[in-house]
Structure 1
Amino acid sequence: MKFQPLLSLAVLAGLALTGCSKDNDSAQNSAKLEVRLTDAPGDFSRVNLDVQKIEVHLRDESDPAGWEVLPFTPQAINVLEYVNGRSALLVSTDFAPGDLKEIRLILGPNNTVTTTNGEVYTLKTPSGQTSGVKLKLDKVTLRQGESFQLLLDFDVAKSIVERGNWKPGNDKKERYLLKPVVRLLAQEVAGSIYGQITPAAALPQVLAIRSSLTPADTFSTAADATGAFRFLALPSGTYRVEFYPTATAPANQPAYRAVTQTGVIVVNNQATNLGQVKLN
């Protein structure tokens, strides 16, 4: 495997690198791609990765022009915060439908490991590994109006290697090598939320906010003329759904009011029915 101060690791939370609002039109005309990172625990107190760039490859492996950079804010990530089912959202973006061939994550030079006794060491990158660890994707196709999640599962215990000839007093930069061991999980994201708003004349905007993610990921839509609304291609999680009327009630009727429903559970490949939602 190759590497460069760069490494493909395991997939947005405590760190939210990107949050996106979607409407029905964009959801129908594009796919949504989400990249998340999770970690298998290791015997350290902290592992900071200087994440600079995330790319996906859209063409045959032999075509160097096939890489596309995903929208991502460079920053340091302590991967040990994302264990036991937690994950960090790295990318959440609309994406052109089509096939993905590979993914890679590029690191800067400021990668460190902190031992259980509080000592901080630079993670040394083996020489010659300049093109990055590339994780191949097997038959991953992003389809119009659907969402796809790539989970990069980084194994700290196997990825950080202590050099056998290092002794206290030697250069700290020479103690640990970074040799990433990463498992890639890919799945379609196909949860949904739907319901019926009364009165339909309230013409509400509807927000589905994934509150189980930090910071929250927000999706938006609007009810149609009959009061029906539906969110498609939602990632699994716990949501807060908010309804905001955009019209004013007639003078002889109760005022329209904003309504919030909490604890809405979305499961992949299942539709969650909120039933009738009254805004007066």
Structure 2
Amino acid sequence: MKKMKFILSFIMLGLLIYSCNNDDTNASYPYAVRLTDAPGPYEEVNVDIQGVEVIGDDGKIVALNVEKGIYNLLEFSNGVDTLIATDSLEISSVKQIRLILGADNTVVLDGVSYPLSTPSAEQSGLKLQVNQTLQEGILYTVLLDFDANKSVVKLGNGGYQLKPVIRTIEKAISGSIKGKITPIGTMAVVEATSSTAVSYTSNVNENGDFLVMGLPPGTYTITITPALPLLPVTKTDIVVTAGLTTDIGSFIIL
């Protein structure tokens, strides 16, 4: 029942657009936050999400309607994401998103679950810079790209710590590149490098698919680097357009 109410509240966001009048003080800005992840070398990385807040330029804090719970980040990779929070804002700019984590975070390796200690500052709110100016009548979706591989730190005592590494992606102003490699099951890192030498990375999943998200519009070179002794593959002059996914097809790794 709780899940159904959450989904219905998201659907109602579109209807809320039409309830606004011409008075700017009553303007409404539908807002959604989704979660995705880059693949990592773990069986599970479970994070305990307890709250999502947005902070305006004036310092006003708005707590979004959040679906609290434990999320296995590895279930949301290579283009898969999930809705974690929605609301209709009455502020026209968002300076930060604050992700509030609980204490029930774990990582699973070789079938064994280990607790992930979390610094107290991150439990009270991990601040993510966004600096958005909102326009009335547009549904804004922000994707939190949670890098599980970089976020889990092994400690000297054999334990693990969660130090979240998260990139915010405004899907309407960025694009992505997807493709596939064969043979299926080949482990490889995919790097997209822009014409200004800025690089973005992802990993090939178990089905041979890859997706590099959050790319500013422009021209990119893709380099697929498998484990030795296999050789890297490069493709140049890939054009990325905001709001679109560029499919560069399949590559054979030899």
Q: Among residues 177, 180, 202, which one is paired with 2:161 in the alignment? A: 177
Distance change (3 Å), C-alpha of 1:268 and 1:186: closer
Secondary structure in 2 aligned to 1:143? coil
Distance 2:54 2:87 in 1: 13
Report if aligned partners of 2:100, 2:122 keep a CA contact under 8 Å in 1: no
**Higher RCO, Cα 8 Å, sep 6+:** 1
Report if aligned partners of 2:33, 2:83 keep a CA contact under 8 Å in 1: yes
Q: What are the ranges of 5 or more consecutive residues in structure 1 without an aligned counterpart?
A: 1-13, 167-174, 190-266, 270-280
Q: Among residues 116, 119, 133, which one is paired with 2:112 in the alignment? A: 119
Q: Among residues 11, 34, 55, which one is paired with 1:21 in the alignment? A: 11
Whichever residue aligns with residue 121 of structure 1, its letter is Y
Distance 1:76 1:185 in 2: 22
Distance 1:53 1:132 in 2: 8
Query: Normalising by the residue count of structure 2, what TM-score does the alignment of the two structures yield?
Result: 0.58
Whichever residue aligns with residue 32 of structure 2, its letter is E
Residue 38 of structure 1 pairs with residue 22 of structure 2: no
1:141 positional shift? 1.8
Match of 1:137 in 2: 130
1:96 positional shift? 2.3
Distance change (3 Å), C-alpha of 1:15 and 1:151: farther
Residue 72 of structure 1 pairs with residue 66 of structure 2: yes
Please provide the CA RMSD for this pair: 2.8
Give the stretch that moved more between structures: 25-34 or 77-86: 25-34
1:27 positional shift? 1.8
Whichever residue aligns with residue 92 of structure 1, its letter is T
Query: Normalising by the residue count of structure 1, what TM-score does the alignment of the two structures yield?
Result: 0.53
CA distances 1:209-261 after superposition (whole Å, capped 9, x unpaired): xxxxxxxxxxxxxxxxxxxxxxxxxxxxxxxxxxxxxxxxxxxxxxxxxxxxx
Distance 2:70 2:4 in 1: 10
CA distances 1:98-137 after superposition (whole Å, capped 9, x unpaired): 000100111111111111x100011011356564320111
Secondary structure in 1 aligned to 2:111? coil
Q: Which has the larger radius of gyration?
A: 1
Distance 2:48 2:124 in 1: 16
Distance change (3 Å), C-alpha of 1:39 and 1:25: closer
Whichever residue aligns with residue 47 of structure 1, its letter is V
1:142 positional shift? 2.0
Match of 1:95 in 2: 89
Whichever residue aligns with residue 41 of structure 1, its letter is P
Higher strand share: 2
Report if aligned partners of 2:146, 2:166 keep a CA contact under 8 Å in 1: yes
Match of 1:86 in 2: 80
Residue 157 of structure 1 pairs with residue 149 of structure 2: yes
CA distances 1:43-100 after superposition (whole Å, capped 9, x unpaired): 111111111110000134xx4xx22100113111111100011001112333225000
Secondary structure in 1 aligned to 2:65? coil
Q: What are the ranges of 5 or more consecutive residues in structure 2 without an aligned counterpart?
A: 21-27, 174-241, 245-254
Report if aligned partners of 1:37, 1:87 keep a CA contact under 8 Å in 2: yes
Secondary structure in 2 aligned to 1:54? strand
Q: Paired residues, what number?
A: 165
Whichever residue aligns with residue 94 of structure 1, its letter is S
Distance change (3 Å), C-alpha of 1:21 and 1:146: same
